[in-house]
Amino acid sequence: MRILLHDYSGHPFQVELSRELARRGHRVTHSYCPAWPSGKGHLVAEPGETLVFDPVGPTEAIDKSRFVRRLWLDLVVGWELLRQVRRTKADVAMLSNAQVPTLVVFALGMVLLRRPWVLWHQDVYAVALRSFAGGGKLGRKFAVVAAAFEIAEKWTSRRAAAIVAIAEAMVGVHEQWGTAHKTTVIPNWAPLDEIVPVARHNAWSAEHGLDDVTTLLYSGTLGLKHNPELLVQLAEAVRRAGRPVRLVVVNTGPAEEVLRQEAARLGVDLVLLPFQPYERLPEVLGSGDLLVVLLEQDAGAFSVPSKTLSYLCAGRPILGLMPSENLAASLIEEVGGAVLAPVPASVDAAGAWAAALLEDPERCAVIGKEARSLAESEFALGAIADRFEAILVGASVGAGAASVAGAAGAGRGPGAEGGGAR
């Protein structure tokens, strides 16, 4: 079977799925947008691999603040994806993290091409936009855009042959849209064989002078909506609780200047680094004595930060400044980490917890082992790939939504009892 798998962000676990499907004999083309500023997976074919990488869209970094330019690029990516479908003669396509304008163009084109496609639904954009809609003129604009996006998301979902949702909470949305009958929940994961525990003192930590200092580390996407000042305030709270630390943030984007200014104001020892090569991610995460997740209060139940899943694979203690109802929060708490609300009032408590943990190396080691153990039990690729393969095969042969969901197994993924984020 010829498969086109497009993940706009180029994240690691989608690439891992493409590799596994190719190993199973399918002719797989993996597509992504190189201009999107985020950590990327291993997007290069190895010798002997049949997997083909075919990026779409611009190569120059996208400026997220230029909304008109963004809209145009999203439309272009949709058109380029349709060209990929024709060029690769794909029997079925699957889209992950695609922007709403991209989805509209693509869904319309696939109707004309009479080709089946699967929506790998990572987020409900209309819900995210509504979280920004406050009062005043700007809030009303966000509300209008959110309403338009919901119409578009509903329409594109109805055009898809099947839908993979990453969380149980998303099924309720698809019930409202009339698409729940063809929706299967398969939680996200992280590549166990690529992100592995390493020694705290490693080549990367030595290169960046981190061997002899206690490190709070954040690695991943960080936008202004996340309230990045909280990371600096957390480091200061840990210091006030009696444990001096260095804050290391691996990110590229507008939050950098905010972090610098806040660190200067509070006198926090800060190291800012751009996204690192994917092959060095285990060393990057291994250099953190405590790994931090930051997620805005309005993220709710739909957003599952992939960095949390990578942190679990790395086998390090985790502190989440995030909503307690978020699906990743249960994972952090299950292995002995801490979750506190992402608001300034929680920072002192988070700092006290972190300082106490960092004074107890044995407890840190236990939490790290529990984190890796949980990842190994939840992220086994074989069973996950079986479910995706059944959905893609079902969509390509026109088996219908009910038989697709039945073949894949409705509901939670393997071992996902108790949380849709797994």
Q: Which residues pair with 31 in a beta bridge?
A: 6
Closest CA to 195 of 9, 11, 383: 11
The CA-atom distances, in angstroms, between 291 and each of 200, 214, 254, 317, 332 are 12, 11, 21, 6, 11
Co-location of 359 and 256 in the same domain = yes
For residue range 175-230, list pLDDT tens digits in order. Answer: 999 999 999 999 999 999 999 999 999 999 999 999 999 999 999 888 766 789 99
| pLDDT single digits (tens) 1-30 | 999 999 999 999 999 999 999 999 999 999
Output the six-digit token pair for 106: 């693509």
349 and 387 fall within a common domain: no
Reference 19, options 29, 6, 9; nearest CA is: 29
pLDDT for position 103:
96
Higher pLDDT, 239 or 124: 239
pLDDT for residue 145: 72
* Whether the predicted pLDDT of 404 surpasses 60: no
In this structure, the dihedral spanned by the alpha carbons of residues 359, 365, 367 and 368, taken in order and rounded to 10 degrees, is 130
CATH number, domain with residue 336: 3.40.50.2000
**How confident is the model over 248-305, as pLDDT tens digits?**
999 988 889 999 999 999 999 999 999 999 999 999 999 999 999 998 877 666 677 8
User: Looking at residue 403, what is its pLDDT?
Assistant: 43
- Is residue 15 one of the residues assigned to a domain? yes
Q: Based on the domain organization, do 389 and 371 belong to the same domain?
A: no
Inside any domain, residue 9: yes
End-to-end CA distance of the chain: 28
Q: Are the C-beta atoms of 293 and 421 separated by less than 8 Å?
A: no
pLDDT band of 169, cuts 50, 70, 90: confident
If asked whether residues 374 and 384 sit together in one domain, one would say no
Helix, coil or strand: residue 339:
strand
Closest CA to 338 of 295, 305, 367, 373: 367
- Residue 196 belongs to some domain of the structure: no
CB 168 within 8 A of CB 408: no
Average of per-residue pLDDT across 87-114: 96
Comparing 162 with 302, which gets the higher pLDDT?
162
The encoded tokens of residue 287 equal 């250099």
Q: Is 6 left (phi over 0), alpha (psi -120 to 50) or beta?
A: beta
Is there a single domain that holds both residue 94 and residue 166?
yes
What interhelical angle do 347-358 and 361-378 show, nearest 10?
A: 100
Please report, as a single letter, which amino acid is at residue 264. Answer: A
pLDDT at 377: 94
Domain that holds residue 66: 2-190+380-408
Q: What is the 3-state secondary structure (H, E, C) of 141-156?
A: HHHHHHHHHHHHHHHH
Give a yes or no: residue 418 inside a domain: no
Does the residue 195 lie in any domain? no
The answer to whether position 349 is within a domain reads yes
- DSSP per residue over 247-295, as a string? EEEE--STHHHHHHHHHHHHT--EEEEPPPPGGGHHHHHHT-SEEEEE-
Per-residue pLDDT of 320-366, as tens digits, reads 999 888 888 999 999 999 999 999 999 999 999 999 999 999 999 99
Residue 210 confidence (pLDDT): 97
| Contact criterion met (CB below 8 Å) for 127 and 37 | no
Clarify whether residues 249 and 113 are in a common domain.
no
Determine the Cα–Cα distance for residues 387 and 340; give it in Å rounded to an integer: 34
162-165 β-sheet, strand order? 52-53, 27-31, 2-7, 92-96, 117-121, 162-165, 183-185
Q: 290 and 258 in one domain?
A: yes
Instruction: Report, in angstroms and rounded to the nearest whole number, the Rg of the chain calculated over CA atoms.
Output: 21
> 109 and 34, same structural domain?
yes
Is the four-CA dihedral 91, 30, 122, 196 of positive or negative sign? positive
The answer to whether residues 132 and 91 belong to one domain is yes
Domain count, the chain: 2
Q: Record the tokens describing residue 331, joined without a space.
A: 């994972």
Strand partners, 218: 249
Same-domain pairing of 75 and 7: yes
Same domain as 107, residue 207: no
Q: Which of 410, 399, 403, 401 is nearest to 178 (CA)?
A: 401
- How far apart CA 286 and CA 104 sit, in angstroms, is 41
307, 74, 50, 403: CA torsion to nearest 10 = 80
pLDDT at 134: 54
pLDDT at 411 over 50: no
| Residue partners of 274: CB distance under 8 A and separation at least 6 | 250, 251, 252
pTM (predicted TM-score): 0.85
Which residues does 265 contact at the CB level (< 8 Å), separation at least 6? none
Domain contains 177: yes
User: How much of the chain is in helix, strand and coil states, percent to nearest 5?
Assistant: 50, 15, 35
Answer yes or no: do 374 and 388 share one domain. no
